[in-house]
Structure 1
Amino acid sequence: MRDRFMAAGVTHIISISGSHLGMVAILCFGLIRFMLRLLPERQYHRLTLAADPKKIAAWLTLPFLIFYTLLAGGQVATIRSLIMLVAALAALLLDREHALLHSLALAALFILVASPQAIFDISFQLSFLSVLAIGSVVMLWSELQVPGKSRLARFQNSALLLVLVSISTTLATAPLVAHYFNQVSLVGVVSNMIIVPFAGFIVVPLGLFSGLLSLLTSTLPLPALNQFVADRFCDTVTFFSRLPFAQFHPPAPGLLSLLAAALFLGSGYVIVRSILLYRYHPLASSSRVPRNQVAIAAVSGLLLILSLTIFFLPRRTGTIQFPDVGQGDCALITLSSGKNILIDGGGAYDDRFDVGRRIVAPYLWNQGIHRIDLMVLSHPHPDHMNGLKYLVKSFSVGEIWTSGLDKDLPGYAELERLIADRGIPFRVVSAADPPVMISNAEVALLHPAPGFHSSQRKAYAAENSRSLVVRIALEGKVFLLTGDIGEDAEREMLQSNKNLRCDLIKVPHHGSKSSSSAPFLARTRPEIGIVTVGSRNRYHHPSPEVVERYDAAGTRLFRTDLDGALTVTVNKGGLIVRSWRTRMMQRIELEDRSSWRRQEEGNWRALWLRARDA
Structure 2
Amino acid sequence: MPRSPFPPSATPSFSRAAASLLGALLLRPLLWSAACALLGVMLGGQLAHAWHDLAREQAPIWLLLPFLVVGVAVACYFRHSPWLSRVGVAVAFTTLFAAHTTRRLLPPHDDISRLFANQSPRDQPLRSSPARLVGIIGDYPQRSRWNTRFPLDVETVNGNMTPGRMWVSSAFTSRLEVGDRIELRTDVRPLSRPRNPGEREGFWAALGARCWCQSGPLLELNVLKPAAAYPLERRIQGIRRTLLARYEWLFAGDEDTLAKRPYPRQNAALLTAMVWGENGLRDPLPQQTRDDFRAAGLSHLLVSSGSQVTALAMALLLIGRTFRVRRAWLLLLVVPGLVAYALIAGAAPSIWRATAFGILGAICLGSGRDLDLLSMWSAALVGLLALDPTLAWDLSFQFTFAAVCGLIVVAPVLFRAIQPLNSGKLGQLAAMSLAAQAATWPLSLLHFGTASATGWGANFLAVPLAEILVFAGSIGLVIPWGEPLYRLTGAVSSLASSAAQPAGALVEDVFWPTSWVWACYAILAMATLPLADEWDELQTGAKQWLEKQRANLFGLGPKVIVAGLVVVALAVTVSSLWPSSHTLRVTVIDVGQGQCIVIQDPSGRAVLVDGGSLDGRERAEIGAAVIVPALQHLGVTRLDFVFLTSPDEDHCNGLRRVLREVAVGAFVDGPKAGETPNGALWDELGQAELLNLRREVERLGVPVVVPHVGQEFPLGEARLRILNPQLPLAGSQHDNSLAMRLEWGNRSILLSGDLEREGEQRLTRLGLPLNCDVLMLSQHGSSTSSSPDWLNASRAGAAIVSCGRFNRLNVPSASVLRELAVRKIPLFRTDMDGALTVECDQNRCSVTPQTP
Secondary structure, counterpart of 1:411 in structure 2: helix
Native 8 Å contact 1:21 1:65 kept in 2: no
The yes-or-no answer on 1:443 pairing with 2:720 is yes
Partner of 1:385: 652
* Distance change in 2, residues 1:286/1:435 (3 Å): closer
Secondary structure, counterpart of 1:123 in structure 2: helix
* Distance change in 2, residues 1:580/1:353 (3 Å): closer
Following superposition, the deviation at residue 112 of structure 1 comes to 3.6
Counterparts of 2:779 and 2:503, CA distance in 1: 43
Counterparts of 1:88 and 1:505, CA distance in 2: 62
Following superposition, the deviation at residue 374 of structure 1 comes to 1.3
Counterparts of 2:763 and 2:697, CA distance in 1: 30
Partner of 2:687: 409
Counterparts of 1:138 and 1:372, CA distance in 2: 43
The yes-or-no answer on 1:124 pairing with 2:397 is yes
Counterparts of 2:670 and 2:618, CA distance in 1: 27
The residue type equivalent to 2:686 in the other structure is D
Native 8 Å contact 2:313 2:358 kept in 1: no
* Distance change in 2, residues 1:140/1:439 (3 Å): closer
Counterparts of 1:96 and 1:419, CA distance in 2: 67
Following superposition, the deviation at residue 531 of structure 1 comes to 1.6
Secondary structure, counterpart of 1:324 in structure 2: coil
* Distance change in 2, residues 1:89/1:506 (3 Å): same
Q: Show the 5 A alignment for 1:205-244.
A: 229-236=495-502, 238-239=504-505, 241=507
* Distance change in 2, residues 1:96/1:452 (3 Å): farther
TM-score of the aligned structures, taking structure 1 as reference length = 0.65
Partner of 2:606: 340
Partner of 2:348: 76
Partner of 2:533: 276
* Distance change in 2, residues 1:113/1:356 (3 Å): same
Following superposition, the deviation at residue 507 of structure 1 comes to 0.9
Partner of 1:349: 615
Following superposition, the deviation at residue 23 of structure 1 comes to 5.3
Q: Show the 5 A alignment for 1:320-331.
A: 320-331=586-597
* Distance change in 2, residues 1:135/1:576 (3 Å): same
Following superposition, the deviation at residue 369 of structure 1 comes to 1.5
Counterparts of 1:208 and 1:403, CA distance in 2: 65
TM-score of the aligned structures, taking structure 2 as reference length = 0.49
Counterparts of 1:97 and 1:400, CA distance in 2: 66
Native 8 Å contact 1:27 1:201 kept in 2: no
Q: Show the 5 A alignment for 1:350-365.
A: 350-354=616-620, 355-365=622-632
The residue type equivalent to 1:99 in the other structure is D
Q: Show the 5 A alignment for 1:455-534.
A: 464-496=734-766, 498-534=768-804
The structure 2 residue matched to 1:253, chosen from 515, 533, 536, is 515
Partner of 1:458: none
* Distance change in 2, residues 1:235/1:558 (3 Å): same
The yes-or-no answer on 1:102 pairing with 2:385 is no
Secondary structure, counterpart of 1:397 in structure 2: strand
Partner of 2:836: 566
Q: Which of the two has higher C-alpha Rg?
A: 2
Partner of 1:44: none
Q: Which moved more, 1:514-523 or 1:487-496?
A: 487-496
Residue deviations 1:375-402 (CA, integer Å, cap 9, x gap): 1222243432233233223222222223
Q: Show the 5 A alignment for 1:188-199.
A: 191-197=454-460, 199=462
Following superposition, the deviation at residue 101 of structure 1 comes to 2.5
Secondary structure, counterpart of 1:576 in structure 2: strand
Partner of 1:372: 639
Native 8 Å contact 2:591 2:613 kept in 1: yes
* Distance change in 2, residues 1:198/1:373 (3 Å): farther
Residue deviations 1:483-531 (CA, integer Å, cap 9, x gap): 2322122233334563333332201122222211112222232233212
Following superposition, the deviation at residue 570 of structure 1 comes to 2.3
Native 8 Å contact 1:347 1:356 kept in 2: no
Partner of 2:406: 133
Which one has more relative contact order, counting CA pairs under 8 Å at least 6 apart?
2
Partner of 2:551: none
Secondary structure, counterpart of 1:276 in structure 2: coil
Residue deviations 1:134-157 (CA, integer Å, cap 9, x gap): 212356689x8x996x98454795
Q: Show the 5 A alignment for 1:261-340.
A: 276-277=533-534, 288=541, 316-340=582-606
Secondary structure, counterpart of 2:812 in structure 1: coil
Native 8 Å contact 1:379 1:467 kept in 2: yes
Counterparts of 1:286 and 1:226, CA distance in 2: 45
Counterparts of 1:413 and 1:75, CA distance in 2: 49
The residue type equivalent to 2:656 in the other structure is K
Gaps of 5+ in 2: 1-286, 546-579, 672-681
The residue type equivalent to 2:515 in the other structure is P
Residue deviations 1:332-391 (CA, integer Å, cap 9, x gap): 110223211111224243433133333332222222212222112222434322332332
* Distance change in 2, residues 1:110/1:535 (3 Å): same
Partner of 1:579: 849
The residue type equivalent to 2:393 in the other structure is F
* Distance change in 2, residues 1:451/1:252 (3 Å): farther
Following superposition, the deviation at residue 316 of structure 1 comes to 3.1
* Distance change in 2, residues 1:106/1:319 (3 Å): closer
* Distance change in 2, residues 1:23/1:465 (3 Å): farther
Following superposition, the deviation at residue 224 of structure 1 comes to 10
Following superposition, the deviation at residue 202 of structure 1 comes to 6.8
Counterparts of 1:365 and 1:11, CA distance in 2: 27
The structure 2 residue matched to 1:419, chosen from 678, 697, 720, is 697
Partner of 1:459: none
Secondary structure, counterpart of 1:353 in structure 2: coil
The residue type equivalent to 1:193 in the other structure is W
* Distance change in 2, residues 1:453/1:162 (3 Å): same
Counterparts of 1:372 and 1:88, CA distance in 2: 55
The residue type equivalent to 1:331 in the other structure is I
Gaps of 5+ in 1: 37-46, 293-313, 455-461, 585-614
Following superposition, the deviation at residue 271 of structure 1 comes to 6.9
The residue type equivalent to 2:843 in the other structure is G
Counterparts of 1:545 and 1:464, CA distance in 2: 20
* Distance change in 2, residues 1:198/1:225 (3 Å): closer
Residue deviations 1:76-117 (CA, integer Å, cap 9, x gap): 345445535644764786576842233323433553454342
The residue type equivalent to 2:299 in the other structure is I
Counterparts of 1:473 and 1:111, CA distance in 2: 54
Secondary structure, counterpart of 1:329 in structure 2: strand
Native 8 Å contact 2:610 2:643 kept in 1: yes
Counterparts of 2:643 and 2:418, CA distance in 1: 63
The residue type equivalent to 1:318 in the other structure is L
Counterparts of 2:387 and 2:374, CA distance in 1: 20
Quote the RMSD (CA, aligned, Å).
5.4
Counterparts of 1:374 and 1:205, CA distance in 2: 57
Residue deviations 1:9-46 (CA, integer Å, cap 9, x gap): 9796436666x74455678999x89xx9xxxxxxxxxx
Between Structure 1 and Structure 2, how many residues are aligned? 508
Secondary structure, counterpart of 1:238 in structure 2: coil
Native 8 Å contact 1:399 1:424 kept in 2: no
Native 8 Å contact 2:449 2:512 kept in 1: yes
Counterparts of 1:196 and 1:90, CA distance in 2: 27
